[in-house]
Amino acid sequence: MLMNYLLILLVCLVGNQCSETANHPGHLKPFGSSGPYLQIETVNDLPTKIFFSNYVKPKRAVLMKNFVNQFPAFVKWNDQYLNDNSYTSPDYKVLLETSKKETRNQETISLPLHDFLLIYNTSQLYMVNEVPPYIKKDVVLPQPLQCAQAPSVLEETIMWFSSGGTSSVTHTDDYENILCVFDGIKELVLVDYFKHKKAADMIIDQHKGAYSSMDVDKVDYEKFPLIKELEYYRFNLSAGDCLYIPYKWVHQVRSYGRNLAINFWFNYERIFGNDEFGQECSENKLDLSKTLDTLTYGPVEDNFFYNFKIFIMRQVNLGNRKIDQWISLVLGEKELNDEKKELSIEMLNEMFSLMDFDGNGLLSDDEVIDLNENSIEHILGILNEVESIIYEDSDQNEDPEDEDELDEENLREEL
């Protein structure tokens, strides 16, 4: 963090950047309010094969108009219906945030849904919970996730329910995300992470939780000077619409009116190496029988080696298949002396060779799939050694408390 502030100070001193950012029309205004704006692509039909090939693989957002209008939930989910169904499982409690302007350290409480319904219109309470089991029968898997092996990518289905007036932090997601609105309006501000990586990495300054410390209602351009380089997608998501938000895209969300939405979070790497879809998935239509209560899904077992293998798969899916790309991924723009840089690169070459079985300098899907626990443990050991080299005799960053027990969050932050 110290280095981030020193960098900001340096930017201010060189070229009078502070006065430039302080005079920017977006300074101390809501996030994304000053533009410039890009046009979000919009579709009215999106078969599975086209969705994965045209949007998920290249990480392109897309707005899907009128995609949940046929869902039973879209028609049935008034307060009386939700109340009656809640009483079929009276002991089931939903998680409630206690402030409509999100903070990641706010208190949460749990109540039965029928109790929440009594007070949500006159309180700050905001339901953020897995779709309760007694109403999963009303929610259909969205069309793009229905064909062939696609349903197996589903990870979580989170229900967001409030009386409106909510505002999220600026953040990124660990998963691919299809956000569908069943009532009310959501205002979205999106930034393509892969187009604005340097600025996005400065904005998302809270690595644990992948969010920004900025005040979304009054963004300080002096604290986040690179924000002036961003281009935004800004638009409303109306009842019936869905939006695909690619993994890592920066976004901020506001809601208006009685507001009910579901996030369909999915893990593309679950079909890594098996992501080609047949011709039938080029023209599949919505099948209303594929409701959530007929599917088995959920987060995989919390196994660090598996999760790190997923991390490697994700990097390969993002195009990091060559050694120079992995060197850039790990070392980034860190300032190292020649000796440290040479030793780090030598060790990263050794790490890469553990994944590149055929030695052709290009990671294939099969090579990543074939990684076993021993190989991953060896890779982690090398990364720990590289980390030790980078931060040896340095106060630029805090070292992990125990390098032998490097967890996934720390590893993702370092990479």
pLDDT at 393: 57
CATH T-level fold of 23-281: Jelly Rolls (2.60.120)
Catalogue the E-assigned strands of 92-241. 93-97, 108-112, 126-130, 154-162, 176-191, 232-238
End-to-end CA distance of the chain: 16
∠ CA 47-50-51 to the nearest 5 degrees? 80
pLDDT at 398: 45
399 has pLDDT over 60: no
pLDDT at 14: 47
pLDDT at 299: 78
pLDDT at 4: 52
pLDDT digits 0-9 by tens, 33-68: 999 999 999 999 999 999 999 999 999 999 999 999
pLDDT at 411: 52
pLDDT at 404: 41
How far apart CA 80 and CA 57 sit, in angstroms, is 41
pLDDT at 335: 86
Judge whether 88 and 136 are in contact, CB under 8 Å: no
More confident position, 8 or 105 = 105
The residue written with tokens 């604290």 in the block is 223
296 has pLDDT over 70: yes
More confident position, 303 or 314 = 314
Catalogue the E-assigned strands of 246-392. 250-266
Report the largest interatomic distance among the alpha carbons of the chain, rounded to a whole angstrom: 69
- Distances in Å between the Cα of 382 and the Cα atoms of 26, 343, 345, 405 are 44, 11, 11, 13
Query: pLDDT tier at 86 (50, 70, 90 boundaries)?
Result: very high
pLDDT digits 0-9 by tens, 323-375: 999 999 999 878 899 999 999 999 999 999 999 999 999 999 999 999 999 99
Mean pLDDT across the stretch 22-27? 90
pLDDT digits 0-9 by tens, 226-245: 999 999 999 999 999 999 99
Number of CB atoms found within 10 A of residue 334's CB:
15
Query: pLDDT tier at 322 (50, 70, 90 boundaries)?
Result: very high
pLDDT at 400: 43
Mean pLDDT across the stretch 180-185? 98
Q: Hey, is 347 helix, strand or coil?
A: helix
Mean pLDDT across the stretch 93-119? 97
Least confident of 202-206, 320-324, 331-335: 331-335
pLDDT at 301: 66
Q: Checking DSSP bridges between strand 62-64 and strand 242-245, what pairing results, if any?
A: antiparallel
pLDDT digits 0-9 by tens, 250-277: 999 999 999 999 999 999 999 999 999 9
310 has pLDDT over 80: yes
pLDDT at 19: 63
Percent of the chain with pLDDT over 90: 82
Give the residue range(s) of CATH 2.60.120.650 domains in the chain.
Answer: 23-281
